[in-house]
């Protein structure tokens, strides 16, 4: 579904992404991990279209997309969730999810919040799609409450629901578990696993190798802009180069590897 070929992105002297090739199959949940500054966010932005590579190509369903704008990529079926949750205050969970039916650019997205047309909010087809996205993400009991009243874990689920509302084929997630505690992390990993069972394709950028290991089929490890390992979660966790480069220490008892 997604194929990256020898992608390069530099910032001055820093080769943030340095010749990365990777492919994600339809129905796969791929984890992308690496230490601070490894190039994860840069790679994410290259796929989402917020950055352009200096070299290399990105194929999505057989189509070259590396020169397309983010909104054009969204229309092809690539949805993203940002690390920071963008919520429209004074709007319910349902209304916040409905916004995702449209492929806004970041800029338009903020503008839309300020003057979201009434007919759009009341559009039955969009409402129906949002309801279904809310059901898939387990947010039904909170559909009609103000979105800002939700705890962070549910706000993250809301972001995923919003992305689903646009009917994407590929979902890019940037550190969805950041800032979440035990129970919320578990609920999020269950949600991702459920979407996976539905056959959904996802690329999950994460810091927490424990979280990634619970949900990903395969994991790619980046370090200094390059792929240093790729394989099943178990293979990657046992890989010495990964332990040295990414972790600098051995796994803790609970399987969560920290510095």
Ligand X SMILES: Nc1ncnc2c1ncn2[C@@H]1O[C@H](COP(=O)(O)OP(=O)(O)OP(=O)(O)O)[C@@H](O)[C@H]1O
H or E element that contains 27: none
Stretch that binds Mg ion, among 35-43, 86-94, 104-112, 128-136 (CB under 5 A): 35-43
Closer to ligand X at the Cβ: 38 or 188?
Answer: 38
Closer to ligand X at the Cβ: 36 or 254?
Answer: 36
Query: From the CB of 31, what's the least distance to ligand X, in Å?
Result: 13
Query: Minimal CA–CA distance to 40: which of 25, 56, 51?
Result: 51
Residue 201 lies near Mg ion (rule: CB under 5 A): no
Query: From the CB of 207, what's the least distance to ligand X, in Å?
Result: 6
Residues 13-32 that bind ligand X (CB under 6 A): 14, 16
**CA–CA distance, 112 with 190 (Å, rounded to integer):** 31
Q: Helices 152-165 and 182-197: crossing angle, nearest 10°?
A: 20
Residue 40 lies near ligand X (rule: CB under 6 A): yes
Residues 169-208 that bind ligand X (CB under 6 A): 207
**159: which 2 tokens?**
């972001």
Pick the binder of Mg ion from 1, 31, 39, 41 (CB under 5 A). 41
Please count the CA atoms within 13 angstroms of the CA of 22 that sit on its side-chain side. 27
Residues making up the chain, counted from first to last = 259
Tell the residue number behind the tokens 């399987």, with chain if given: 255
**185: which 2 tokens?**
């992390």
Residue 38 lies near ligand X (rule: CB under 6 A): yes
Closer to ligand X at the Cβ: 66 or 95?
Answer: 66
Closer to Mg ion at the Cβ: 40 or 156?
Answer: 40
Note whether 129 and 101 are within 8 A (CB): yes
Torsion of CA 166, 186, 95, 172, to 10 degrees: -30
Query: From the CB of 209, what's the least distance to ligand X, in Å?
Result: 12
With 0-12 CB in 10 A as exposed, 13-18 as middle and 19+ as buried, what is 240? exposed
Beta bridge partners of 204: 31, 173
Stretch that binds ligand X, among 22-30, 34-42, 186-194, 236-244 (CB under 6 A): 34-42
Tell me which of ligand X, Mg ion, none is bound by residue 150, counting a contact when its beta carbon lies within the kind-specific cut-off of 5 to 8 angstroms.
none
Stretch that binds ligand X, among 8-16, 96-104, 116-124, 184-192 (CB under 6 A): 8-16
Residue 55: phi, psi to the nearest 5?
Answer: -150, 160
Residue 39 lies near ligand X (rule: CB under 6 A): yes
Binding site for ligand X (CB under 6 A): 11, 14, 16, 34, 36-42, 207
Residues that bind Mg ion (CB under 5 A): 40-41
């Amino acid at each position: 579904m997604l194929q990256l070929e020898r992608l390069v992105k530099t910032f001055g002297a820093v080769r943030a992404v340095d010749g990365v090739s990777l492919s994600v199959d339809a129905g796969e949940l791929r984890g992308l991990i690496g230490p601070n500054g490894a190039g994860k966010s840069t790679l994410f932005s290259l796929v989402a279209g917020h950055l352009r590579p200096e070299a290399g190509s990105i194929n999505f369903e057989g189509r070259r997309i590396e020169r397309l704008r983010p909104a054009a990529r969204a229309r092809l079926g690539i949805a993203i969730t940002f690390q920071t949750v963008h919520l429209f205050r004074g709007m319910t969970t349902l209304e916040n999810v409905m916004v995702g039916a449209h492929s806004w650019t970041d800029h338009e997205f903020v503008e839309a919040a300020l003057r979201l047309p009434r007919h759009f909010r009341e559009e039955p087809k969009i409402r129906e799609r949002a309801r279904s996205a809310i059901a898939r993400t387990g947010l039904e009991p909170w559909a009609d409450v103000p979105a800002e009243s939700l705890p962070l874990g549910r706000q993250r689920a809301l972001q995923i629901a919003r992305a689903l509302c646009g009917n994407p084929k590929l979902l890019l997630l940037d550190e969805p578990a950041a800032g979440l505690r035990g129970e919320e992390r578990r609920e999020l990993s269950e949600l991702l696993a459920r979407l996976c069972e539905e056959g959904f394709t996802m690329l999950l950028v994460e810091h927490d190798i424990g979280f990634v290991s619970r949900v990903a089929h395969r994991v790619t490890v980046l370090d200094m802009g390059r792929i240093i390992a790729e394989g099943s979660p178990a293979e990657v966790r046992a890989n010495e180069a990964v332990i040295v480069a990414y972790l600098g220490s051995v796994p803790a008892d609970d399987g969560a590897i920290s510095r």
